[in-house]
Amino acid sequence: MSARGLFITVEGGEGVGKSTNIAFLEQQLKGEGVDLLLTREPGGSGLGEKIRELLLAVDDEVVDPMAELLLIFAARAQHIRTRIEPALAAGRWVLSDRFTDATYAYQCGGRGIPRDSVSALEQLVQGSLRPDCTLLLDAPVETGMARARGRGELDRFEREELAFFERVRRTYLERAEMSSGRYRIIDASEPLESVQKQLKKVCHELTGCWGVRHPQP
């Protein structure tokens, strides 16, 4: 039986460079011999990607925060059952662009949904599944939003006011402080070379501590 894989998540607000740096992490980990599944939330499965489209679409109808939360966990349930759990059980590492920490940050911090509501859904959908390591790409909100606006048309979340993203960032940092070592905070306001130097160090720590399980031929 294969040893269980490592579950790594990458978190952060808008415009912190997640896409660029996740691609870098993927390259680093695979370069060190890790059998890796790269995925994202919301999404990660056929059903999840359809829900993602609903969540990000700009529409005249205002989305109720509780409806939004339930859609996110519906996508997550499918994602876990069809992609994450099978990969981990097979000994593969999973690298996910966002997971439940994002729900606490955006839906609790940003939207004001009670933490107990998210916690109850977390337990129902995930059981004991939690990330082994979370990399938080952190930058001042003004910096991140300037980058996001520079990418082109904004999605439904990116159109929120700055105060929303300040609450999101504050919640992320609070969770990192309470995480008992699961989080690694990466200063994403620095130049890309410096950010990736920080990430490379974390990759070496993870492969050194957890060992590398090579893909089966």
**Domains of the chain, start order:** 7-210 (3.40.50.300)
**In a 10 Å sphere around its CB, with 0-12 CB exposed, 13-18 middle and 19+ buried, how is residue 34 labelled?**
buried
- In sequence order, what are the beta bridge partners of 37? 94
Classify residue 33 by its DSSP letter.
Answer: T
**Helix 162-177 vs helix 141-150: angle between axes, to the nearest 10 degrees?**
120
For 157, the 3-state DSSP assignment is coil
Copy the structure tokens of residue 197: 């130097």
Q: Token pair of 47, please?
A: 């059903």
Long-range contacts of 151-160 (CB under 8 A, 24+ apart): 151/15, 155/56, 155/57, 155/58, 156/55, 156/56, 156/57, 156/58, 156/59, 156/63, 157/14, 157/55, 157/56, 157/106, 158/14, 159/58, 160/110
Alpha-carbon span 17 to 162, nearest angstrom: 18
CA 187/CA 67 separation, integer angstroms: 33
pLDDT tens-digit profile of 64-113?
999 999 999 999 999 999 999 999 999 999 999 999 999 999 999 999 99
Query: pTM value?
Result: 0.92
pLDDT tens readout for residues 166-201: 999 999 999 999 987 899 999 999 999 999 999 999
pLDDT value of position 150: 72
